[in-house]
Structure 1
Amino acid sequence: MIFSRTDATNKDFIALTKELDAYLKTTDGDEHDFYHQFNGIESLNTVIIAYHNEIPIGCGAIKHYNDSTLEIKRMYVTPNFRGKGVASKILKELEQWSRDLKYTTCILETGTRQLEAIALYHKNFYKQISNYGPYNEAENSLCFKKTI
Structure 2
Amino acid sequence: MNTSLDGNALDGSALDDTARDHLVIERVPITHPDAQSLIEAVQAEYVARYGGQDESPVDPADFEDPLGQFFVGYLDGAPVATGAWRRSSVKALRAEVTAEIKRMYVVPAAQRRGLARRMLAHLETTAAAAGIEALVLETGMKQPEAIALYLSSGYEPIPGFGYYCGSDLSRCFGRRITSAG
Give 1:41 shift: 5.5
Moved over 4 A (4+): none
Cα distance in 2 for partners of 1:68, 1:20 equals: 28
Q: Given the alignment of the two structures, is residue 48 of structure 1 paired with residue 66 of structure 2, yes or no?
A: no
Residues 77, 86 of structure 1: 8 Å contact kept: yes
Query: Larger helix proportion, structure 1 or 2?
Result: 1
Q: How many residues of Structure 1 are paired with residues of Structure 2 in the alignment?
A: 144
My pick for the range that moved more, 60-69 or 18-27, is: 60-69
Tell me the SS of whatever aligns to 1:133.
coil
Tell me the SS of whatever aligns to 2:163.
helix
Matching residue of 1:110: 139
Cα distance in 1 for partners of 2:159, 2:118 equals: 26
Cα distance in 1 for partners of 2:162, 2:58 equals: 16
Q: 1:37 aligns with which of 44, 55, 61?
A: 55
Specify the code of the residue in structure 1 equivalent to 2:78. I
Cα distance in 2 for partners of 1:41, 1:16 equals: 17
The one of the two structures with greater contact order (alpha-carbon pairs below 8 A, sep at least 6) is: 2
State the TM-score, normalized to the length of structure 2. Answer: 0.75
Matching residue of 2:38: 16
Cα distance in 1 for partners of 2:29, 2:119 equals: 15
Matching residue of 2:25: 3
After superposition, give the CA deviation of every residue in 1:21-75 in whole Å (9 maximum; x if it has no partner). Answer: 000111112xx35xx2215362333111111111001001101103600000010
The answer for unaligned runs of 5 or more in structure 1 is none
Residues 39, 74 of structure 1: 8 Å contact kept: no
The answer for unaligned runs of 5 or more in structure 2 is 1-22, 90-95
Identity %: 30
Query: Larger strand proportion, structure 1 or 2?
Result: 1
Tell me the SS of whatever aligns to 1:9.
coil
Specify the code of the residue in structure 1 equivalent to 2:126. W
RMSD, aligned CA: 1.4
Tell me the SS of whatever aligns to 1:74.
strand
Residues 8, 41 of structure 1: 8 Å contact kept: no
Matching residue of 1:63: 86
Matching residue of 1:142: 171
Cα distance in 1 for partners of 2:162, 2:71 equals: 24
Specify the code of the residue in structure 1 equivalent to 2:86. K
My pick for the range that moved more, 83-92 or 65-74, is: 65-74
Tell me the SS of whatever aligns to 1:98.
helix
